[in-house]
Amino acid sequence: MIIKAPVKNDNIIRELRIGDVFYVSGTIYTMRDQAHRRILELHTKPPIDLKGAVIYHCGPIVKRINEKWTVVSAGPTTSSRMDKYIPDLIREFGIKIIIGKGELSEKVVTACRKYCAIYGIFPGGMGALAARSIQEVLGVEWMDLGMPEAIWKLKVEKFGPVFVAIDAHGDSLLKNVKDIVRKNVDRLLSSICSD
């Protein structure tokens, strides 16, 4: 499935379930720790429209070539660093998709369910693949935070694969996997201990 960004129809978000794979075409924004902090802790108005936005937790490697920015690599960063900000960003600004890597808290799961948003995982170690789907750097905001922490506005085509890790129905793929592993470990330990 290819999702057009920004997302204007919640039904598209509701259709996706944990484990589904999707791609994004349109405009996405990179955001990391400092941009989240500036918006929510320092109460700075975002320089971009976040309604229906696709946010990518990424500190891209970008270089200037002939007066234009070019993304060299754009692998995901660990989303748990932004975990405490994500529920408020979803609620206050209407963000629909967050892409990153790693597990997020139950508070994020609840926010995704309540406000019809999803969290997707882009495979780590594939920054060059991500960069290939970035057609153009449309702009950059808050460069004073430094290149990786700035907000990059990117035009993408078939950006992905992205795996749905938290869906708008309150399901969490990584929590489900952890629960299964925990049950299997408990079962294994109990069989070892009973011998």
Q: At 122, which CATH number?
A: 3.20.130.10
User: pLDDT, tens digit, for every residue of 163-178?
Assistant: 999 999 999 987 655 5
Read off the pLDDT of residues 60-91 as tens digits, 9 standing for 90 and up: 999 998 989 999 999 999 999 999 999 999 99
Distinct helix (H) and strand (E) counts, the chain? 6, 9
> How many domains in the chain?
1
Confidence of residue 186 (pLDDT cuts 50, 70, 90): low
Query: Nearest to residue 139, comparing CAs of 12, 45, 57, 48?
Result: 48
- Residues known to be catalytic: 36
Cα–Cα dist 144/164, whole Å: 32
**In which domain, by residue range, is 67 found?**
2-194
* pTM of structure: 0.89
Instruction: Say if residues 36 and 59 touch (Cβ distance below 8 Å).
Output: no
CA–CA separation, 105 vs 158, rounded Å?
28
